[in-house]
Amino acid sequence: MKIGNYDLGAYPSLSELVATQLAVWPEHENMLTKSICVRSDDVMETSERASGQILKIINHHLGSVEEVCEDYRFLCEKMILAEEWYFRRHGRYRMSTFVEVEREYYANPVFMKQYMNGLLLSSVFWLNHANALDYYIRVFLAQNKEDYRHLEIGPGHGLLIYYAGIDPRCKEVTGWDISAGSIAATRKALDAMSSGSRVTLVQQDVFEAFKGSHRFDSIVASEVLEHLERPDEALTNLYACLAPNGRLLVNMPANSPSPDHLYLIREPEEVLDLMESAGFCILEHRLFPMAGYTLEQCRKHKLTINCAAIGTRKP
């Protein structure tokens, strides 16, 4: 299979996922083509590595690749599309409180299975997600100091925390999640990727984050803050958990309607404002528009842009 300048035969794991997805949903070919054909060689390599881990997770405990691809189709055609229509009509996300989301979605295991499986594939199918994953690995983790202590908020499908877990420079790897069920799912994913033994998973509410002597050199909150009512308070707590000269990576989308998204930012630079208000000094940031559109088009039409920003805590 050839997409743009890329022969997917050179990327066997990604090729398997793409081929299966197109067998399940042929109409998605145009979107996948737009997403893949513009990627850099580095991002393609990252997507291939991530696809290999995704296949391990699927084969270990999620069922068949076809089933997960059906869940991804349901995510795109039913879940996201419904929220997109609401967003276009009303200019805001449909949900505004955690209580609403928990009642309608988080307490529904069938919905959550389809939702989480779909998001797993979005890591390599969606251009903005693929670029953000590559940035996390090649820029954020790569710049961490020797023997760094790493924390991830809401590790979810486990892909991001997996890369910290296999980094020989990483002394300590911890994941926090408010949900015991989510922690169990992350543990299964890490076991599938054979990296679970190095990772400590803790049921911890970021709004009640401890402010003791144990601090982290590296913290990541990727695709998390938009799920919170008060991301500013979460960032303030994370600032207290960061060691002097430690670094925080936030990856947060603007104009990204989804069933459980609560906090809307209309311009990606609002992420920087939230971080600076919590005390962080911004070191750098990147903007990743959704596939098929330029950054300028996304701004004009209020389409999804991921803002990945690295901040530090000064001594």
In angstroms, the CA 136 to CA 304 distance is: 19
Tell me what the mean pLDDT of segment 275-280 comes to: 97
* Cα–Cα distance for residue pair 52/221, rounded to 1 Å: 23
166 and 118 co-located in one domain: no
* Reported confidence tier of residue 210, pLDDT bands at 50, 70, 90: low
pLDDT, residue 213, reads 62
Domain count, the chain: 2
Mean pLDDT along residues 206-210 = 81
The whole domain housing 209 covers 127-312
pLDDT tier, 3 (very low <50, low <70, confident <90, very high otherwise): confident
Q: Are residues 7 and 21 in the same domain?
A: yes
What does the pLDDT read at residue 208?
A: 86
Instruction: Please tell me the distance from the alpha carbon of residue 202 to that of residue 186, in angstroms, as a whole number.
Output: 11
**Does residue 185 carry a pLDDT above 90?**
yes
Cα gap 148→238, rounded to integer Å = 16
Instruction: Give residue for tokens 């299964």.
Output: 188
State the amino acid at position 183 in one-letter form: I
- What pLDDT does residue 212 have? 62
Q: Which of 71, 43, 224 is nearest to 128 (CA)?
A: 43
The predicted pLDDT at position 214 comes to 73
- Domain end marker among 109, 125, 141: 125
pLDDT at 287: 98
Residue ending a domain, among 90, 125, 160, is 125
For residue 79, is pLDDT > 80?
Answer: yes
Say yes or no: 215 and 276 in one domain: yes
Query: Are residues 300 and 184 both part of a single domain?
Result: yes
Mean pLDDT score of the chain: 95
Last residue of a domain, one of 125, 143, 163: 125
Cα separation, 198 vs 164, whole angstroms: 9
With CA atoms as reference, report the closest residue to 174 among 188, 154, 159: 154
Q: Which alpha helices (H) appear in 141-269, and where do they start and end?
A: 159-165, 180-192, 231-241
* Residue 209 pLDDT greater than 80, yes or no: no
Predicted structure pTM score:
0.96
142 and 190 inside one domain:
yes
158 and 146 within one domain? yes
The reported pLDDT for the residue numbered 315 is 75
Same domain, 71 and 114: yes
